[in-house]
Each structure stands twice: as C-alpha cells, then as structure tokens.
Amino acid sequence: MKIGAIEAGGTKFVCAVSDEQLTIVAREQIPTTTPAETMGAVISFFQKNPVDAMGIGSFGPIDVAVNSATYGYITATPKVGWRDYDFLGTMKKAFDIPYVWTTDVNVAAYGELKLGAAQGLKSCVYLTVGTGIGGGAVINGQLLHGFGHPEMGHMLIRHDPADTYQGHCPFHADCLEGLAAGPALEQRYQRKAQTLAGDDPAWTLEANYLAQACVDLTVTLSPEMIIFGGGVMKQQQLFPLIRQQFAQQLAGYVPTPAIDDYIVPVQLGDNAGITGCLLLAQEQLR
C-alpha cells in the first residue's frame, strides 16, 4: 500500500509517496508554471510512483463544497492560467483512487496536530506568513470547512495610526495579509523583510498585527494552539513580541493555555503540509 501527497503552492508543487508507516519513498519538486506543464509533470511522477490514495493541499482560493459543480477547482486566483482550473478532476481522470482535497494551510494544520507542535491536542490553527497570509484549522480532529474554507489572511485589522502604509490587498484596505505579509514589510520599509535588523521597530508593528489575528482567532475558535510558519516567521524575535501584545490586547478576558505553549512556531517546518496530506490520505484508506 502506497500513499500520495501533493502540496500545491504558488511557486512550487511538492509531490511525495510514502509507505504505510509514512516513510517517504519518493519525492519531487515541480515549479508552478502553467497547469498543462505542472500537472503533466505531477501526473508522470505518480505514474512512475503509483499510490492507493492521495491527499492534496492546494493554494487557493479553492472550492471545497462537495456538492458544488466546481468542487475540486482552484477558483479566483490571480495566478495566470490557474483560475477556474479543475485540479481534482484532472487528478481523478488520471488516477481513480480516493482523494482528500483541502487547502495548503489546512493540511499543514493537520500535520502539526498529529505529528508536530500540537500533538496530543484536538484542535489548532496554523497561520503562514509569507508572500501571502493563509490560515487553516483543525477542530475536534476535523479540517475546518464551512460553505468554503477559511480565509484567515483577510481578517480585518485595526490599523496602527502611526503606520502610514496603506496595505496591498486589492480587496480590503486593512486586512492582515495586506498589512503584514512579506510584501507589506518590503513596501513599507523599501527593503526585503529578511534585511531588517532583529531589533528594528518594524517587528513590533508586525507583532501588533499578528497579535490581533491571534486575539480574533482565540475569541472565535478557541483553538488549543496557534502555530505560525512561513518565511517571515523565521524572525524568532516575533514570538515574544506577539505573545506580549496578545496578552495586552486580550486583556485577560479569556484564560488561554500558557502563552509560551499557545502561540508557537511550526515544528515540522517545510514538511508540515506533506505530512498532513499523507495522514489524511492514510485515513481515507482505513
């Protein structure tokens, strides 16, 4: 029995195959170009490495509503060629096996819950802060889907009056992604986020916005843990800053788990998504 995984990102797709113990036996990275080219390479990878079930975590937005005519599609992405693309249908045509279809951040949340930072818990939220901001959640062991999937990167944020940067989300003036993703840092300070000094005040502002997101997630979902990943979160000094401002903003209203165990970095790193895909596919086979 072999299990397959696709972590489909805006810059690259990672395909992997594991045995039943989740030991990876084949893995390949494919650049995200056109659907024809990228999906052609994905399909030939799984032709060479056949699997019995597959978990797919995709960049979005995607359609996860099982009864929808466009279930399995990537929908309103600005990414050329991928808008209204039938991702799951293309895979099903190539391989008639069971699939789990959800977002890249939901699979990462699932991986972290089962084998990463949130092991032993029943719920967690995973937020990635990179080129964009995305968030996924597992609640009571289940991926969180509603009429669609969460879009936590677009929660509205109280704009710091001292911050003159307008944000770069084309849809919202003051959303989290527009104010706090990597490109926001780059535009606000006119330099790459990774070149800002560790003690630059930029990180205090960044932590203010990320802490607000944690407060909103806390009071709406009551997750047992909030896990941060993505390029920007490589700045480890953000964690104490976020925790401190989170505590101030929440003002003691909700007794959360101990703060150092509540707002934490991703543990599986770049493997969180693939691990989640494999686990979900494995459960599909049971």
Binding residues for ligand ADP (CB under 6 A)? 9, 11, 130-131, 182-183, 186, 192-194, 230-232, 234-235
Q: Which of Zn ion, ligand ADP, none does residue 111 bind to, with CB < 5 to 8 Å depending on kind?
A: none
**Shortest distance, position 201 Cβ to ligand ADP, whole Å:** 15
We find the least distance from the C-beta atom of residue 261 to ligand ADP, in angstroms, to be 24
Q: Does 133 bind Zn ion (CB under 5 A)?
A: no
Cβ at position 173, least distance to ligand ADP in Å: 20
181 makes contact with Zn ion (CB under 5 A): no
Q: Residue 154 interacts with Zn ion (CB under 5 A)?
A: yes
Q: What is the 3-state secondary structure (H, E, C) of the chain?
A: CCEEEEEECCCEEEEEEECCCCCEEEEEEEECCCHHHHHHHHHHHHHHCCCCEEEEEECCCECCCCCCCCCCEECCCCCCCCCCEEHHHHHHHHCCCCEEEEEHHHHHHHHHHHHCCCCCCCCEEEEEECCCEEEEEEECCEECCCCCCCCHHHCECCCCCCCCCCCCCCCCCCEHHHHHCHHHHHHHHCCCHHHCCCCCCHHHHHHHHHHHHHHHHHHHHCCCCEEEECHHHHCCCHHHHHHHHHHHHHCCCCCCCCHHHCEEECCCHHHHHHHHHHHHHHHHHC
Closer CB to ligand ADP, residue 51 or residue 180?
Answer: 180
User: In terms of CB distance, is 102 or 235 closer to ligand ADP?
Assistant: 235
Q: Is 159 in the site for Zn ion (CB under 5 A)?
A: no
**Residues lying near Zn ion in the complex (CB under 5 A):** 154, 169, 171-172, 175
